[in-house]
Amino acid sequence: MLRKLLTQTSSRRLLFSGVPPLFSKSTISPFSSLSSSPEPPSSESPAVEHPGTTISIDRSSLYTPPDHSHESTPDSELVKHLKSIIKFRGGPISVAEYMEEVLTNPKAGFYMNRDVFGAQGDFITSPEVSQMFGEMIGVWTVCLWEQMGRPERVNLVELGPGRGTLMADLLRGTSKFKNFTESLHIHLVECSPALQKLQHQNLKCTDESSSEKKAVSSLAGTPVHWHATLQEVPSGVPTLIIAHEFYDALPVHQFQKSTRGWCEKMVDVGEDSKFRFVLSPQPTPAALYLMKRCTWATPEEREKMEHVEISPKSMDLTQEMAKRIGSDGGGALIIDYGMNAIISDSLQAIRKHKFVNILDDPGSADLSAYVDFPSIKHSAEEASENVSVHGPMTQSQFLGSLGINFRVDALLQNCNDEQAESLRAGYWQLVGDGEAPFWEGPNEQTPIGMGTRYLAMSIVNKNQGIPAPFQ
């Protein structure tokens, strides 16, 4: 079966780009009310003449307010919205709330109204690097479907499907396995109307019911549904969930150790009307998650911690997935950049493939943070005793064990020199710096690889055994 999957060909054009390092830490100022005296005029006022005498008036200590202007401020609608929230609260908001507004605000969120992927966008993901990535995910889903006993109906769910490239490559790669594709009901969890349209196009869908957001993909004759959240996806049938570069966009709370103990990092508006980071003067509700996360850390880890980054929404999502998998059967595959350890301070902003200040022009840049894989593991195990968690392993190990080396070898047999060069570059982009090299090594022009920067983890129903390739 694997050989059959790995020898299929596709002519989709490949794109690739490098992955830069983490953004540097931002400057923190204590959360307190600050005031400053106005600057005095730079020159003395001219003398005033009267008949018979001359009086010199020193106005250096007086404040001259700026001329009032009725012109609109240069702030964007999202900036105005964020400032109004802070003003209404009477104080700063959490980094998590700032991040959520910046990414998914219905009117001006980064993901909501445009295509942000690819060379012309702000960043490139693995499915856009090479068709082989989606094909390998297809291998994983078919293998797990086999372990599940080939159920006649399966919900295949993708969280944050981007342009729909991964799902399109998965369907093309598994199209010869009719029993598998005929069992699928695809559910795409996507909150962006703009990206929903792209997914509809790339999956070559024809509408069946616009009111229910239901269509059929001509790639495999498979019904496709759209939802805003995972909760909306019907339960009661075995479910396969794919979360590729989804967790990194979930909001994070940041904490910093200070003389007052652990304080949450917040976003406030300074006297210059610009956003700034401050520290909370007292414990916040999110501190409960901090304490919970610290119970999973070793004493050595707790001793070294100065900064901690925690995503309560990641924990809640994982528990929801685990409960569904534990009761209905199936499994989840999570692939993202992250660490098998506590995350300290990784939040970063990317605009047009370059790192920028997190607080600069919110809504114009992507915000993401490293994924805390141990917190995913613990959250899943706490939620259901019927699931087992496997990994994380590097993306290079994951793709190599599923057979990407054989797949690229098969593709090279049916392409010209230009296509071969693109295939090699895409391959190294996916597995570079890892344990699955097919050639002796990349040349100097090859982009930095994702092979060890990205990790893969799987959550499955215990009755299905250990999933490929985690055995």
Weakest-pLDDT range from 127-141, 206-220, 414-428: 206-220
Q: Average model confidence (pLDDT) for the chain? A: 82
Given this model, what pLDDT does residue 118 score? 55
The average pLDDT across 133-157 equals 97
Given this model, what pLDDT does residue 352 score? 81
Per DSSP, the three-state class of 133 is helix
Q: How far is CA 381 from the centre of its chain?
A: 23
Weakest-pLDDT range from 60-69, 299-308, 310-319, 377-386: 60-69
d(CA 408, CA 424): 8
Q: Which residue's structure tokens are 């445009």?
A: 114
Given this model, what pLDDT does residue 449 score? 78
Weakest-pLDDT range from 66-70, 201-205, 234-238, 326-330: 66-70
Given this model, what pLDDT does residue 125 score? 79
Given this model, what pLDDT does residue 8 score? 44
Given this model, what pLDDT does residue 377 score? 97
Helix or strand (DSSP H, E) at 167:
helix 165-173
pLDDT > 90? residue 444: no
Per DSSP, the three-state class of 462 is helix
d(CA 290, CA 375): 11
What number of H helices and E strands is found in the chain? 15, 21
Given this model, what pLDDT does residue 63 score? 44
Per DSSP, the three-state class of 87 is helix
pTM of the model: 0.81
pLDDT band at residue 308 using 50, 70 and 90 as cut-offs: very high
Weakest-pLDDT range from 61-65, 95-99, 246-250, 413-417: 61-65
Q: How many CB atoms neighbour CB 392 within 10 A?
A: 25
Residue, of 317 and 293, whose pLDDT is higher: 317
pLDDT > 90? residue 210: no
Q: Output the CATH code of domain 2-8+112-247+314-464.
A: 3.40.50.150
Q: What is the percent of the chain with per-residue pLDDT over 90, rounded to a whole number?
A: 56
Task: List Cα–Cα distances, 225 to 186, 209, 216, 229, in angstroms.
Answer: 6, 10, 9, 12
Domain regions of the chain by residue span: 2-8+112-247+314-464
d(CA 293, CA 376): 11
Per DSSP, the three-state class of 377 is helix
d(CA 369, CA 366): 10
Could you tell me if 226 and 188 are in contact, meaning their C-beta atoms sit under 8 angstroms apart? yes
The average pLDDT across 440-460 equals 72
pLDDT > 80? residue 448: no
pLDDT > 90? residue 357: yes
Q: What is the pLDDT of residues 91-135, one digit of tens each?
A: 999 999 999 999 998 888 887 776 656 555 555 778 888 999 999
Given this model, what pLDDT does residue 135 score? 96
- Please give the backbone phi and psi of residue 382, each rounded to the nearest 5 degrees, phi first: -70, -30
pLDDT > 50? residue 35: no
Contacts of 170 (CB under 8 A, 6+ apart): 134, 135, 137, 138, 141
- Longest CA pairwise span in the chain (Å): 109
- Please give the backbone phi and psi of residue 339, each rounded to the nearest 5 degrees, phi first: -140, 155
Task: Taking each helix axis as running N to C, give the angle between helix 395-402 and helix 404-412, from 0 to 180 degrees, rounded to the nearest 10.
Answer: 60
Could you tell me if 195 and 115 are in contact, meaning their C-beta atoms sit under 8 angstroms apart? yes
d(CA 30, CA 22): 24
d(CA 243, CA 431): 19
The one-letter amino acid at 97: E
d(CA 167, CA 156): 10
pLDDT > 70? residue 380: yes
Residue, of 5 and 391, whose pLDDT is higher: 391
pLDDT band at residue 73 using 50, 70 and 90 as cut-offs: low
Given this model, what pLDDT does residue 108 score? 83
d(CA 170, CA 202): 12
